[in-house]
Structure 1
Amino acid sequence: MQLSLLRPLTERPGPWASVYADTSHDTEYAAKQLTLTARAAAARLAELGADDATCGAVEKALAVERTGEPATEAGRALFAADGEVVLDTPLPGPPAAPSVSWGPVARMTPLIEAVGDDPVCLLVSVDKTGADFELHSGRGSDDAGQVTGVEWAIHRAGRIDWSERHFQFKAEETWEHNAREIADKAREVFEKSGAAALLLVGDPRERRSVHEKLPERMRAMTYESTHGRRGPGTDGVVLERDIAQVQAVQELEHVAEVTGRFRARAEPAGGEQPYAAEGVPSLVEAAREHRIDTLLVSHGPDTARQVWVGPDPDQLAVRSSELHYLGEAHPAAVRADDALVRSAVANGADAVVVREPENAPAGGLGAILRWTGSERR
């Protein structure tokens, strides 16, 4: 997922309330069930030592039915501190393990695991007069603009004489002009949004023409669908399925690329230091030095291993005594995965969830590094 969305959770000290709630209530008593869920979460936070203001903020936010969310929303993740809900985001399904926690670091790892890579897909709906652009992700869809092309001589003539052949040529020239404009706009939106894939739907001739005019590097990430069209009356459910399939393919390819790089860098030739790290001590050292480029998270014993932290994301250590040298007199014990995710978010690193055990790093945590320790020294 885009870790930049989690940056607010690293920019203020804790303690943090982290709540993963099942909100998949679709009965006539849904509102009452939601209220009970909210009260239970607030009561649990109070038991864990959270202040009244934060407990109240979580209960109030969780009890409100969110309008405008996808009908498939079945869970929510909330993070609050100092009486304020800092992040409240829908989950793609009920949380694997509903939980309420209170601690010095926000419990972000389950959110990353639930959302996954969450690649953004740019949907381009075309016809001969222009195109509409939408960005689709796990958080829903956003309008990304449109292109209104030239409308002169759009319809091709049926009879074949000199004047009508000339008219036909002008019509095709108009279509080509519009396709170039659509391709240029698609490239602009694709690059600005950080999208991972592009899906073309609509008029078959125009979408093929647009596809051909995209930059070569984009064509490798571009798909076409026979479902959907520009304007009202699109095949909504089927088109959403096609978008989900494109996103799933992109996620699998991205994870495979990352794990491939991780394995290659973890096995250097000639005795050189690796550009990858496994094991909590090595990962903590790399995180402190801002050397983590991509954090790999999976299931394993290292994820729940205890490390020590201070309020600053750079204050993390395997032993509490080490934090005294980093300026923290009162270190707190937290899970290794949450401490490393916090560091990754704060320092602009990426994070990838590896679900296949055979591709996962030993212990469940690993990282591709920006450089080796010896290079920095």
Structure 2
Amino acid sequence: MTDLTRMASLLRDSGPWTVAYVDGAGDEPQVIEEKKQDSVRRRLNEEGAPPADVEAVATALRDGAGLPSPSSRYIVVVDGAVVLDSALSGQRHGEEILTHGPVPPLRPLLLHGSADVGYLVVEAGREGAQLRWERAERSPEPPQEVEGRTDALPKVQAGGWSHAKHQRASEEIWKLNQREVAEAVDTVVRERQPAFVALAGDVRARQLLRDDLADASRALVLDVDAHTRADGADDSALEDAIARRLAELETEDLSTARSRARVDHGSHGVEGVEPVLRALQEAAVDTLVLDERMWDDERMLDALADVPWVDDGDALGVGSLGRVPAAEALARAALLTDADVLVEQDEYAAEDEAREQRLAREPLAVLRRPAA
């Protein structure tokens, strides 16, 4: 279950919610980290969070998440209990959030949406391979080592019949080893359905492994020409290839959503706050696309305590939990009606690049059925 899925199930509870979205533990001295945690306590107290909630957040931050710096944390507490604790590697997206209220802010989880994309990393050697299940912006799970036979004779430089015999023996053992690896990879693909399989390592081992993979697994392979299992190997080529593929998947998802909305002269999609709101009220939205800049504009909507979850002021006889930014209200209603939510984020060639001056794009909803 992804964090967004988990959060969607939590949203049906009444709250109120204490939420902390802050930097994770850094490399600074312990006294500095303790001052940061004291600041979190003070600000949550100022927000009116109950003492038990404040203590729960402080304890979670103090215990840490074992992630290397930089990292961030998204912690949700209800009635003194941590109900969601997301530890995310990489820089925090936007400002810190420390709040207590009837509607939990979803923006951090949505902006870290790619963190829930699972993929498999395979670093192959002629003796076997290491398999790691990873998610974007998260620490990987403990690796799985697939160890084959280690009595493979190296290819020697001497010529003649003996040299050819050694080559054939080694090649057969390498094939057997990669066959075992292929079985392990196929099992992970079948059971966990990764977005892709990043394959690095010895060039011959990669070739043998690809040949033995099932068609479904082979179709997911992202081949990275980097011998990462060699002593002193640099992992940057593998990391860069994974980052590029994750960015491509995000772009593909957005492009697919927009294309689906245009099917049959646009009958499968609606655009704009009001049309999207009405579609969400009817639970007719399959995928909601939001521009991250929507959180910067002044439009507000009512977050409702029950179906239809969102309204523009009438509340439809359902109690309003309060006025919240339109992007938050629409995203919340989408999650509560089992719709996917995609956030289109600005892209920068460099961190210090000037931000393009533009208005937020209107929200877009891909419908589950054609509009009447």
Normalising by structure 2, we get a TM-score of: 0.81
**Counterpart residue identity of residue 367, structure 2:** L
Letter in 2 for 1:13: S
Partner of 2:350: none
Task: Select which of 66, 69, 82 maps to 2:67.
Answer: 69
After superposing the two structures, state which structure 1 stretch, 313-322 or 150-159, moved more.
Answer: 150-159
SS in 2 for 1:26: coil
Higher mean alpha-carbon deviation, 329-338 vs 203-212, is at 329-338
Deviation at 1:256, TM superposition (A): 2.5
Shift of 1:294: 2.5
Aligned AA (1:83): G
Aligned to 2:303: 309
Aligned residue in 2 for 1:213: 212
Structure 1 pair 295–166 and aligned structure 2 pair: CA distance change class (3 A): same
- Tell me: CA distance 1:117–1:250, structure 2 relative to 1, closer, same or farther (3 Å): farther
Q: What CA distance in whole angstroms lies between the structure 2 residues aligned with 1:207 and 1:160? A: 26
Q: Which residue of 1 aligns with 2:259?
A: 264
In 1, the alpha carbon distance for the partners of 2:80 and 2:7 equals 18
Q: 2-side partners of 1:6 and 1:96: how far apart?
A: 20
Equivalent pair of 1:128/1:154 in contact (CA under 8 Å): no
Once the 2 structures are TM-superposed, how far is the Cα of residue 220 of structure 1 from its aligned partner? 5.3
**Are residues 293 and 243 of structure 1, via their aligned partners in 2, closer, same or farther at CA, if it must alter by over 3 Å?**
farther
Mapped to 1, the partners of 2:321 and 2:35 lie a distance apart of 39
The alpha-carbon distance between structure 1 residues 350 and 189, as it changes in their structure 2 partners (threshold 3 A), is same
Instruction: Answer yes or no: is 1:224 the counterpart of 2:224.
Output: yes
Shift of 1:141: 0.9
Offset at residue 12 of structure 1 (A): 1.9
8 Å contact kept, 1:279–1:362: no
Distance 2:302 2:36 in 1: 36
Change (3 A) 1:118 1:67: closer
1:263 offset after TM fit, Å? 3.3
Kindly indicate whether the alpha-carbon contact (under 8 Å) linking 1:42 and 1:55 is maintained by their aligned counterparts in 2: yes
Question: CA 1:5 to 1:308, structure 2 compared with 1: closer, same or farther past 3 Å?
Answer: same
Which range is displaced more, 21-30 or 250-259?
A: 21-30
1:79 and 2:79 are equivalent in the alignment: no
**Distance between the aligned counterparts of 1:301 and 1:151, measured in 2?**
57
**Further displaced range: 114-123 or 183-192:** 114-123
What amino acid is the match of 1:132? Q
Q: Which runs of 5+ in 1 are unaligned?
A: none
Shift of 1:153: 4.8
Shift of 1:206: 0.6
| C-alpha distance 312-154 of structure 1, shift in aligned 2 (>3 A) | farther
Residue-pair matches, total: 357
- What is the identity percentage for the equivalent residue pairs of Structure 1 and Structure 2? 25
Choose between structure 1 and 2 for higher RCO, CA contacts under 8 A separated by at least 6 residues.
1
CA distance in 2, matches of 1:311, 1:33: 37
1:119·1:250 contact (CA, 8 Å) conserved in 2? Answer: no
TM superposition shift of 1:142: 0.7
Provide the secondary structure at the position in 1 that maps to 2:226.
coil
Q: Specify every segment of 5 or more residues in structure 2 that has no aligned partner in the other structure, as ranges.
A: 348-355
Q: 2: CA distance between counterparts of 1:189 and 1:234?
A: 28
C-alpha offsets along residues 244-288 of structure 1, whole Å, 9 cap, x if unaligned?
42332223222322332333344445xx55222222222223333
Aligned partners of 2:129 and 2:146 also within 8 Å:
yes
Residue 323 of structure 2 corresponds to residue 333 of structure 1: yes
Q: 2:128 maps to which residue?
A: 130
User: How far apart are residue 296 of structure 1 and its match?
Assistant: 1.7
For 1:210 and 1:313, the matched residues in 2 are separated by 51
CA RMSD of aligned residues (A): 3.3
Q: TM-score, normalised by structure 1?
A: 0.80
Alignment of 1:1-377 (within 5 A): 3-23=4-24, 25-28=26-29, 29-46=31-48, 50-62=49-61, 64-66=62-64, 68-73=66-71, 75-91=72-88, 92-114=90-112, 116=114, 119-137=117-135, 138-151=137-150, 153-156=152-155, 165-166=164-165, 168-216=167-215, 218-219=218-219, 221-229=221-229, 235=233, 238-239=234-235, 241-269=236-264, 272-301=265-294, 305-312=299-306, 314-322=308-316, 324=317, 328-356=318-346, 363-374=361-372
Residue 85 of structure 1 aligns to a residue whose secondary structure is: strand
- Secondary structure in 2 aligned to 1:141? coil
